[in-house]
Each structure stands twice: as C-alpha cells, then as structure tokens.
Amino acid sequence: MVVFILLAAMSGGSFWVAGQKRPKAKSQKDETLTSHSRDALTPEAREMVELASAAVCRERLTDPKASVPIDDMQGRPSLPVRSPEAVAGAQRAQRLLPTAKTLVIASLKRLASDYGIQKSPIQTRRLQRAIAHVSAVRNIRPDVDSRDNASVFMRNPRTIVFGTIFLAGLPSDEGILSVLAHELVHIADGSEDSLALLFAIVGSRASQLTSLKIHSQRAEELTCDLVGAMVARSHVAASPSYEPIQRRLSRALEHNCVNEDEGDDDHLSPRNTIRALLALNPSLSRELVYGR
Ligand SMILES: [Zn+2]
C-alpha cells in the first residue's frame, strides 16, 4: 500500500517499529521512468499502468469513503482517541484484523509459489515462521501521538499501534485492510528477516518492469504494499456489494494520490508506488480500468 512504512532497528535490536511515514524531500532523478531496461514494460502495458493509476486518483475525488492522501494526512492537527472518526477507524481495524491476517497469509503463500520460493526447505521454514508471527497478532491500539503512522513494537508484537489521523484517513474497509496487511507483512518478516528473499525478488522484478531503483528497504516496503493491494482485491472479490469494483479497489491505493510526490532512500515516491504495484499486477490494472 502502498503505504510508507519505516522499519527501523533501535536499542540494540530489542525494539523495532514499522510506521507509516511520509518520505522526506529528495531528488527524483533516480525515479525517472525510462524505456531502456531490457525487461521493461511494453508501451501497451505502460499505457495500461498509467490509465489505471489515473483511474485510482480520479475515483478518489468522488468517493465519500475515499482514503486521504498521505501528504494531506501529515498536515492535519492531532485527533483525540475518543473522536468519532478515530473510534470508528479503530473499530473497523479491529473488526478486519482477522480477515487481514487470513488474507495476508494466503497472499504470502501465493507470492512464494509464484516466485518459486516454496521449493526450498529453508525458505519454507522461514515462510512458516513468518506466518506464525502474523497469526499471533491480536490487537489494534489507537494512539494520538503516532498521528499518521502505524507501528509494531517487538516487546509487544501482538499489537499494531495506529495513529488516530491514520485511522480517520482510511474510512473504508478496503483502505484499512490494505494498511493492516502492509503492517502484518513487516511483522511476518520480524527481526529474523524471514521474508528477505521474497522482498529481493519482488524488488528486482519491479525494478525490471519500471526501471526504478527498488532494492533493500524500498523492496520490503513495496512488497508490503503489494500484499496490501492483493488483500484488498481478495476481500473485494469475496464480498460483493453494489459499489463499483473500481471504487472499492481504488481505496487500497489512493492514499498515494499526493500533490507532493517525493520519495527517499527507503520508499518510492507515492505515485511511483502506485505505478510499480500496477506494473507487478496487470490484472489489477485491468480491473481498475475496465471493472473486470
Ligand atoms: Zn512499511
């Protein structure tokens, strides 16, 4: 999700935090899309990515449950835990946590299969350990000071701490699911880096497709976002409603529809995050453009 999450080791590894974070200002020259890469998208595929990306941010303008762009979230004043929007967001997140866990585990298994990782016994054990971390998560804790961040602390890995601004800025099931899934993938990776190979493969593939530089932490963040988009899509498919499918799918990505499109060493810029996710997931692009 497409969300901007920082994974930082602190206090000798006894504590880590995965938080949504708006990227710092940085030169964009290394994010310029070019057409030189051997395995880059075809012109047709690139056009589909651009059409789908535009559709996401256009949908946001008319959806009453649209997610708030992260640069807008960051500029908002603190929101009390007892405010109606934060209470509703916390209840939504807690209600959807079991769904998020189930769909994250299914998505991780699917990615491991798609990328051939499950063939290695060592990788299979690592995936099982990652799944156990996800299964152990129990609680959502709203927090004023976390603002537009979400965090997990190793001393309490069963609880995801959500900033109240973040909770209020994601007023749909699809929006909150994509962010929950993002955090759960960080938790799955844990302090053992159980998903390091998956992150590297996803980053390498996305780099080939987009000609963006997506390695190390950027690859982890993009993989978390990829799982977030997969989880939201699975949820939409499993829970039909009268709302248009494009509207529901867009909610998983549209917090990246920023005005200030800046990345940093650990994160692609928000709008390039959308492009990379859609490049990795052409069937999602088609659904966003054609509704099927
Ligand atoms: Zn993250």
CA of 180 to the centre of ligand 1 (A): 10
Ligand 1 centroid distance, CA of 242 (Å): 32
Question: How many A from CA of 6 to the centre of ligand 1?
Answer: 5
CA of 220 to the centre of ligand 1 (A): 7
| Alpha helices, H only, the chain | 43-60, 70-74, 84-114, 121-135, 164-168, 173-189, 196-210, 216-238, 245-250, 270-280, 282-290
19 C-alpha to ligand 1 centroid (Å): 6
CA of 43 to the centre of ligand 1 (A): 30
Who contacts 170 (Cβ-Cβ below 8 Å, separation ≥6)? 67, 68, 89, 176, 179, 255
- The pLDDT, as a whole number, for residue 186 is 94
User: Separation of 221 CA from ligand 1 center, angstroms?
Assistant: 5
Q: What is the pLDDT of residue 38?
A: 57
Question: Mean pLDDT in runs of 10 for the chain (292 residues)?
Answer: 34 36 40 52 94 97 97 95 97 98 98 90 95 96 94 86 96 97 95 96 96 95 98 97 96 97 94 98 96 86
CA distance 275 to 271: 6
Q: How far away, in angstroms, is 267 Cα from ligand 1 center?
A: 9
